[in-house]
Amino acid sequence: MPVEFLGIAATNNGSETTPRSGGAFDKDYTIRLARAHEDHGWDRVLFAYGSGTPEPASAAAYLASKLDKLQILLAHRPNVSYPTFAAKTFATLDQISDGRLTVHFITGGTDHEQQREGDYLAKDQRYSRTREYIQIVKKAWINRSAFDHDGEHYRFADFVSDVFPVQQPRPNVSFGGSSPAAYEAGGAEADIFCLWGEPLAETAQQIESVKQAAKDAGRTDVPRIQVAFRPIIAPTEELAWEKAHRTVDRIEARKANGPLSRRHSLTNPENTGSQRLLAVAERGERFDRALWTPTAKATGGAGNSNALVGTPETVAQALLDYYDLGVDILSARGYDLLDDAIDFGRYVIPLVREEVAKRDRAKAA
Ligand SMILES: Cc1cc2nc3c(=O)[nH]c(=O)nc-3n(C[C@H](O)[C@H](O)[C@H](O)COP(=O)(O)O)c2cc1C
């Protein structure tokens, strides 16, 4: 199974180490960063969602009109638009991008962040809504005749879309989360299930939980698995570790000037995914071949935050360890977003692709 690489479609140059130099939506930077991904072997880029961030679907349409190869992973929160409206937004974007869209349904890990846009449901209720939402979006993408819906969270009658995705029967549905409610909803509905990078053993456990949830939902197939990391690479191991420690120093220096983001608290995160990352960091700094947890600890386990540290060869081997676990979509982003996307694309992606191709050939033989 060929491996895929997911990068980041940031709309400014800000990160945990670097205050952004301009506004939240820097059109030129958005395209420059995306083009760097397209030119250096990445398959897809993620447009993340935050209550105050630039609206990702519009930014993604802009990108799709400027680049003709790079695929788009669009993060979407069900509470911000009605599912029939969202289905048309995604179908239109898939048309604009000539079939390059995957939608990443996120349920939101923090009640306070959800309430900023009028969402007062508790997390498990949010997951139940996400599940119903995805079912409606899938139906709206496929049904050519009008249908009614009368569910727990949504009710409407006689809806039929007049715009359909290029991808047939429909674009892929991606899903993220690590709580039991996430496994249940995502295991039942997702084509791609996304996790934040943890040690191999913990990741294997999560993959089993997702597969079991898919089975419990009566599925005969299972979602593909995506895992995310923060690679820190350099020409020698020594230089890579120096860079890793400097990275944490830069994060700590930034924290001295205030919160890193409005979306994530630095202490006591509500979402299971972040709690798991902090629990792993409590157990130690280094795991397996190259996993390093102080970057997660420094940011309160804020999303994709565990690092893989080493030379390109070491980091490539570490990623292949996850590939061998059944992870075929590898998500990565650095801290100096543009330079790190180019370096990772230039020095790590080719090594992983070559080794995966060799393994696939051996398997086929
Ligand atoms: C790959 C990935 C990307 C995510 N992107 C976002 C995002 O852009 N915005 C957001 O609010 N949450 C994002 N999340 C977090 C989800 O909203 C998740 O539902 C939430 O953290 C609750 O997770 P839990 O089930 O682990 O408690 C992402 C999660 C994953 C795994």
The DSSP-derived string for 299-343 is: TTS-SS--EEEE-HHHHHHHHHHHHTTTEEEEEE--SSHHHHHHH
Q: How far is the CA of 166 from the centre of ligand 1 (A)?
A: 27
Which atom from ligand 1 is nearest to the alpha carbon of 182?
25
Q: Reply yes or no on whether the pLDDT at 256 is more than 90.
A: no
Residue 57 domain flag: yes
Confidence of residue 265 (pLDDT cuts 50, 70, 90): confident
99 pLDDT higher than 90? yes
Domain hosting residue 118, numbered range? 4-227+321-364
Could you check whether the bond before residue 2 is cis, i.e. omega within 30 degrees of 0?
no
The total number of structural domains in the chain stands at 1
For residue 261, pLDDT over 90 is answered with no
Position 196: which residue type? W
The verdict on residue 254 lying in a domain is no
CATH number at residue 74: 3.20.20.30
Q: Whose C-alpha lies nearest to ligand 1, atom 21?
A: 109
Q: How far does the centroid of ligand 1 lie from the alpha carbon of residue 232, in Å?
A: 23
pLDDT at 144: 97
User: DSSP 3-state assignment of 168?
Assistant: coil
| Centre of ligand 1 from the C-alpha of residue 152, in Å | 23
Sign of CA dihedral 153, 157, 163, 168: positive
Q: Is the pLDDT of residue 1 over 80?
A: no
Helix boundaries (H) for 40-122: 56-66, 83-96, 111-115
Q: What is the number of the ligand 1 atom nearest to the C-alpha of 196?
A: 31
Q: Is residue 113 part of a domain?
A: yes
Q: How far is the CA of 360 from the centre of ligand 1 (A)?
A: 32
As a whole number, mean pLDDT of residues 18-23 equals 94
pLDDT at 257 over 90: no
Helix (H, G, I), strand (E, B) or coil at 127: helix
Q: Please list the alpha-helical segments (H only) found in the chain.
A: 27-39, 56-66, 83-96, 111-115, 123-142, 180-189, 200-216, 237-255, 272-283, 294-298, 312-323, 337-347, 349-364
For the cut 90, the answer to whether the pLDDT of residue 268 exceeds it is no
Percent of the chain with pLDDT over 90: 94
Asked if residue 202 belongs to a domain, the reply is yes
Q: How far is the CA of 218 from the centre of ligand 1 (A)?
A: 25
226 CA closest ligand 1 atom index:
1
Pocket residues for ligand 1 (CB within 6 Å)? 48-49, 75, 106-109, 176-179, 182, 194-196, 228, 263, 271-273
Nearest to 111, CA basis, from 265, 297, 257, 260:
265
Q: What is the pLDDT of residue 363?
A: 85
In angstroms, what is the span from residue 107 Cα to ligand 1's centroid? 7
Say how many CA atoms lie within 13 Å of 125 toward its Cβ.
Answer: 9
Judge residue 237's burial from the number of C-beta atoms within 10 Å of its C-beta, 0-12 exposed, 13-18 middle, 19 or more buried: middle
Determine the 3-state secondary structure of 157 from DSSP: strand
- In three-state secondary structure terms, 44 is strand
**Of residues 253, 300, 304, the one with CA closest to residue 281:** 300
Pick the atom of ligand 1 nearest to 48's CA. Answer: 8
Q: Give the integer Cα–Cα distance in Å for 99 and 102.
A: 9
Q: Cα of 106 to ligand 1 centre, how many Å?
A: 5
Whether residue 180 lies inside any domain: the answer is yes
- Supply the pLDDT for residue 34: 98
Question: Ligand 1, residues 51, 106, 114: which to mutate, most atoms within 8 A of Cβ?
Answer: 106
As a whole number, mean pLDDT of residues 343-361 equals 96
- Using CA atoms, how far residue 246 sits from 16, 239, 290, in Å, is 12, 10, 17
32-46, 154-168, 260-274, 305-319, range with the lowest pLDDT: 260-274
Kindly state the average pLDDT of the residues 51-68. Answer: 97
Q: Is residue 192 part of a domain?
A: yes
The reported pLDDT for the residue numbered 36 is: 98
Do the Cβ atoms of 243 and 289 come closer than 8 Å?
Answer: no
Contact (CB, 8 A) for 140 and 84: yes
**Quick check: 93 pLDDT over 90?**
yes
pLDDT in tens, 215-224: 999 999 999 9
The pLDDT, as a whole number, for residue 294 is: 98
**Mean per-residue pLDDT, 131-143:** 98
233 neighbors 306 (Cβ within 8 angstroms): no
Residue 243 falls within a domain, yes or no?
no
Ligand 1 atom with the shortest distance to the CA of 276: 26
Nearest to 322 by CA among 201, 237, 231: 201
- Please tell me the least confidently modeled range out of 179-183, 264-268, 312-316: 264-268
Is the pLDDT at 305 greater than 80? The verdict is yes
Long-range pairs for 247-251: beta carbons < 8 A, 24 or more residues apart: 247/17, 247/295, 247/307, 247/335, 248/294, 248/295, 248/298, 250/16, 250/17, 250/18, 250/335, 251/16, 251/17, 251/295, 251/298, 251/299
Report CA(226)–ligand 1 centroid distance (Å): 13
Mean pLDDT of 200-219: 98
Q: Which ligand 1 atom is nearest residue 263's CA?
A: 11
Average pLDDT over residues 40-49: 98
Q: Is 291 a member of any domain? A: no
Return the ligand 1 atom nearest residue 270 CA: 27
Q: Of 89, 84, 79, give the one whose Cα is nearest residue 59.
A: 89
Which class for 364: exposed (0-12), middle (13-18), buried (19 or more C-beta within 10 A)?
A: exposed
